[in-house]
Amino acid sequence: MLEQDLFKIINRKNKLFESDINAQESELSNIIKNSSFLVIGAGGSIGQAVTKEIALRVPKVLHCIDISENSLVELVRDLRSSDLMLMDFKTFNIDVGSKIFEDFYEYAPRYDYVLNLSAMKHVRNEKDIFSLFRLVNTNIFNTVKSVNLAIKFNSKKYFCVSTDKAANPVNFMGASKKIMELFLSRLGINISISSARFANVAFSNGSLLEGFKYRIEKKQPLAAPTDVKRYFVSSKEAGELCMLSALLGKNSEIFFPKLSEEFDLISLSDVGSRYLNFLGFEPYLCNSEDEAKNCDVDSLILEKKWPCYFSASNTSGEKKFEEFYLEDEDVNLSKFNDIGVITNKIDIDSESLTNFENFFKITKPSETNKAELYKVFNLLTENFKHIDTGKNLDDKM
């Protein structure tokens, strides 16, 4: 899909970061060509995007890690099939949480820059306590582990992706990323660390837009909430934002895209309608999931219509709209054209962070529950106002 077509679907008029990239291109290229890189989570949508941005500028070393072997295979095929001068480019199918990752660091060369794009990003992961524990391990403790290894082996810079859902979180995913930011602030004493909060990445792996694509392919109805609004960026924009933060961000800085609440925030049902319009269809609105699933899709296709069930959200952890920063956060909006920079000087409550770590070291998932986890999370995130409706996204289409 062409980027201009994507922008029509997500209600965006202009490409982000182009002027910032052009203004900083000389410095970006110079840093990359003289540096070695490790990209963790390189097989995901954002990981692949940032890996491509780095590869375009021909680094000395580009090593990529991901837990998904299929994703790494596609990354290799994509880069090897492109007109790129790949130097020391390797991929490794490794779980960052494993002892093998520690052994890998003993074998690997020194990396100047470590970029961590691995994350559990779905709100639906709070459907059970076991998935929640894995979310905490992935988003927080594996991050801490990889930072400590970067420190031990003398990397100069560490970057980790965050999310807009970390600002005033209403779900455990967003709160886990906020707590991750706190741990990064503590670790920033020993290494320069920057991060990025950004919007939903359109058509990324597991996203609602990718789900729309699969529903069309399988002749199934589209479903989306009418009262939930989101900001969207393209995969390339996500990769560019991460690259800019990783290379140009100072210690403790968090980059975010300058998007307008008035012009760029769009409801998910509207995105669904725009996607259907792009494909040449009009939404055929149904009053229930059962009605949508029982539609004669083939007959509707002949009429250039598609069955849809658009309704108000009633699932846990679903924030009505997203925001990138809080009123009490220090924000610089003049440093870049399309990027805002959060420059917080956080008072680190090291004891509370240690208590958080200890809880998960000694507690098994079967020994606790979501209510108890909420109390543990809230000791570090006072603005975590969890929305629990008793219903999960896995219960819906």
Indicate whether 396 pLDDT > 90: no
Q: How do residues 172-183 score in pLDDT, each as one tens digit? A: 999 999 999 999
Q: Work out the pLDDT band at 347, boundaries 50, 70, 90.
A: confident
Query: 172-187 vs 350-362: helix axis angle to the nearest 10?
Result: 120
pTM of the model: 0.95
Are 156 and 116 in contact by the 8 Å Cβ rule? The answer is: no
Three-class SS state of 277: helix
pLDDT of res. 47: 96
Span between the terminal Cα atoms of the chain, in Å: 25
Three-class HEC string of 150-202: HHHCCCCEEEEECCHHHCCCCCHHHHHHHHHHHHHHHHCCCCEEEEECCCEEC
Token pair 């008035």: residue: 262
Are 370 and 129 in contact by the 8 Å Cβ rule? The answer is: yes
- Separation CA 82–CA 88 (nearest Å): 16
Indicate whether 82 pLDDT > 80: yes
Q: How do residues 238-281 score in pLDDT, each as one tens digit? A: 999 999 999 999 999 999 999 988 778 899 999 999 999 999 99
Indicate whether 394 pLDDT > 90: no
Indicate whether 316 pLDDT > 90: no
Between 283 and 320, name the one with better pLDDT: 283
pLDDT of res. 247: 98
Task: With residue 148 as reference, give the H or E element that holds it.
Answer: helix 142-152
Angle at 163 between CA 160 and CA 166, to 5 degrees: 110
Contacts of residue 77, defined as CB under 8 A and 6 or more positions apart, other chains included, come to none
